[in-house]
């Protein structure tokens, strides 16, 4: 691990700690690295992030400071909704840390270019189960992320049964069905139209090991960065068997925005009466 990567990981491990950001900024300044100024800007922005009257202006100033910098690096060290350095959402059961070269290999094999925020998310966490995990609440339903997929890791169900698939091969099969629409699978999720108790039972029963004949997942738009739901029909041998399609509208305009909006399910929430 390089010194630079060690500083980044220190920031990711304690995203709200100004001290780690300022130490990194000093280290960058000593080397004449322009990223030092941006690190200091994230500290100033973070201190006023929850002040509604100044938030939009502070965010514009932060984005201006990021001009000319590597977009993946910016996303790695900045909290949502600008970046993916999660300050409020905790990720557990993450995959093994991966280098940039591992993502490059995936992109070369699948002939895709992943959006910068998603590359940053893989480098920071390589998937994992978010807490909190609710990304959408409606009058009669709610949706939860089961897990963000981890690159290079075998996919397993909740009983610990290991699939023969990995994210790499799963993504390849999904792209064969919906590649023309430019979507890349990033997470498994569960919808419920029932009570919280029934929802928990549904999650326990759900098979989150792939392959499956009909699969629904959250995908990121390769050209837009939007997060959408997608349904894919695949054969168990991986041959294209049906057509994948996104649902109406985007779940979030970007991965950082999705991470920003994740929340807990309200206590005692009953969809039929809420």
What is residue 234's predicted lDDT score, i.e. its pLDDT? 47
What is residue 5's predicted lDDT score, i.e. its pLDDT? 96
Q: Are 136 and 143 in contact (CB under 8 A)?
A: yes
DSSP-based three-state secondary structure for 164 = strand
Six token digits for residue 35: 């990223």
Q: Does residue 13 or residue 154 have the better pLDDT?
A: 13
Look at 59-73, 167-181, 229-243 and tell me which has the smallest mean pLDDT: 229-243
Residues sharing a CB contact under 8 Å with residue 166, sequence separation 6 or more, in sequence order: 152, 153, 154, 155
What is residue 217's predicted lDDT score, i.e. its pLDDT? 82
What is residue 242's predicted lDDT score, i.e. its pLDDT? 38
pLDDT tops 70 at residue 52: no
What is residue 54's predicted lDDT score, i.e. its pLDDT? 66
**What fold does the segment set 90-261 form as a domain?**
SMI1/KNR4-like (3.40.1580)
What is residue 231's predicted lDDT score, i.e. its pLDDT? 72
Q: Are 230 and 222 in contact (CB under 8 A)?
A: no
Question: What is the C-alpha separation between 90 and 86, in angstroms, rounded?
Answer: 7
Highest mean pLDDT: which range of 107-116, 179-188, 259-268 = 107-116
pLDDT tops 60 at residue 130: yes
Six token digits for residue 210: 């792939």
């Amino acid at each position: 691990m390089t010194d630079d990567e060690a500083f980044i990981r220190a920031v990711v491990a304690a995203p709200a700690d100004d001290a780690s950001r300022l130490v990194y900024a000093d280290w960058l300044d000593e080397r004449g690295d322009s990223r030092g100024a941006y690190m200091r800007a994230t500290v100033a922005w973070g201190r006023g992030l929850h002040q509604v009257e100044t938030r939009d202006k502070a965010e514009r100033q932060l984005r201006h400071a990021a001009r000319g910098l590597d977009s993946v690096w910016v996303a790695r060290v900045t909290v949502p909704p600008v970046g993916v350095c999660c300050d409020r959402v905790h990720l557990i059961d993450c995959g093994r840390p991966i280098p940039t070269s591992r993502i490059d290999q995936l992109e070369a094999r699948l002939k895709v270019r992943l959006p910068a925020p998603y590359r940053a998310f893989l480098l920071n966490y390589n998937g994992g189960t978010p807490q909190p995990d609710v990304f959408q609440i409606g009058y009669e339903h709610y949706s939860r992320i089961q897990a963000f997929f981890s690159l290079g890791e075998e996919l397993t169900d909740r009983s610990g049964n290991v699939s023969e698939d990995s994210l790499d091969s799963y993504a390849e099969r999904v792209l064969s069905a919906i590649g023309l629409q430019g979507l890349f699978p990033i997470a498994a999720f569960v919808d419920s139209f029932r009570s919280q108790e029934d929802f928990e039972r549904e999650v326990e029963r759900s098979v989150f090991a792939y392959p499956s004949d009909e699969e629904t997942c959250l995908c990121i738009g390769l050209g837009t960065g939007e997060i959408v739901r997608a349904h894919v029909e695949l054969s168990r041998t991986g041959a294209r068997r049906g057509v994948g399609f996104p649902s109406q509208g985007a779940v979030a305009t970007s991965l950082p925005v999705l991470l920003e909006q994740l929340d807990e399910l309200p206590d005692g929430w009953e969809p039929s009466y809420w």
